[in-house]
Structure 1
Amino acid sequence: MSPPSSPSHFLPAGTVYGTLLNFRAEVEALAPQMSAPPYKAPPKAPVLYVKTANTWSPHGAAIPVPANVPEVEVGASIGMVVGADGDIEGFVPMNDLSVPHASFFRPPVKFKCLDGFLGIGPALRDAQEVDDPAAFRVEVRINGEVRQTLDFSTLVRPARQLLAEVGEFMTLAHGDVLMLGCGAGRPLARVGDRIEISAPGFETLTNTLVAEEKGAAA
Structure 2
Amino acid sequence: MRLLRVGPPGAERPAALDADGILRDLSSVVAEVDGAFLADRAALAAVAEALDAGTLPEVARATRRGAPFARPGKVVGIGLNYRCYAAESGAAMPERPVVFLKPGSTVCGPEDGIDLPPGSTATDHEVELGVVIGRALRRCDDPARALASVGGYVAVNDVTERHLAADGPTWAKGKCCDTFTPAGPWLVTPDEVADPQALALELRVNGELRQAGDTKDMAFSVAELLCYLSGLMTLEPGDLVLTGTPAGVAAGRPDPKPFLRDGDVVELEVEGLGRQRTPVRAAGRSDERSVG
Q: Are 2:157 and 1:95 aligned?
A: yes
Contact 1:5 1:58 in 2 (8 A): no
Contact 1:81 1:176 in 2 (8 A): yes
1:105-137, Cα deviation, whole Å (9 max, x unpaired): 731111111121111112101111111111111
Closer, same or farther: CA 210–155 of 1 in aligned 2, 3 Å: same
Considering fraction of residues, name the structure with more helix.
2
State the aligned residue count: 205
**Aligned counterpart in structure 1 of residue 246 of structure 2, from 165, 180, 183:** 183
C-alpha distance in 1 between matches for 2:274 and 2:281: 23
Deviation, structure 1 residue 85: 4.9
C-alpha distance in 2 between matches for 1:183 and 1:29: 9
Larger Rg: 2
Which residue of 2 is the match for residue 38 of structure 1?
Answer: none
Q: Are 2:129 and 1:78 aligned?
A: yes
C-alpha distance in 2 between matches for 1:5 and 1:74: 28
What secondary structure, in the 3-state scheme, does the structure 2 residue paired with 1:135 have?
A: coil
Higher RCO (Cα < 8 Å, 6 or more apart):
1
Which residue of 1 is the match for residue 265 of structure 2?
Answer: 194
Contact 2:136 2:236 in 1 (8 A): no
Contact 2:136 2:234 in 1 (8 A): no
Runs of 4 or more consecutive aligned structure 1 residues displaced over 2 Å after TM superposition: 3-9, 11-14, 25-32, 42-45, 101-106
Gaps of 5+ in 1: 35-41
Closer, same or farther: CA 43–141 of 1 in aligned 2, 3 Å: closer
Q: Are 2:112 and 1:61 aligned?
A: yes
C-alpha distance in 1 between matches for 2:242 and 2:197: 14
C-alpha distance in 2 between matches for 1:111 and 1:206: 22
C-alpha distance in 2 between matches for 1:198 and 1:26: 18
Considering fraction of residues, name the structure with more strand.
1
C-alpha distance in 1 between matches for 2:106 and 2:191: 29
TM-score by length of 2: 0.64
Deviation, structure 1 residue 141: 1.3
Which residue of 2 is the match for residue 21 of structure 1?
Answer: 80
1:133-174, Cα deviation, whole Å (9 max, x unpaired): 111111101122221112111100111111111112221111
Gaps of 5+ in 2: 1-8, 16-65, 138-148, 251-258
TM-score by length of 1: 0.83
Deviation, structure 1 residue 79: 0.7
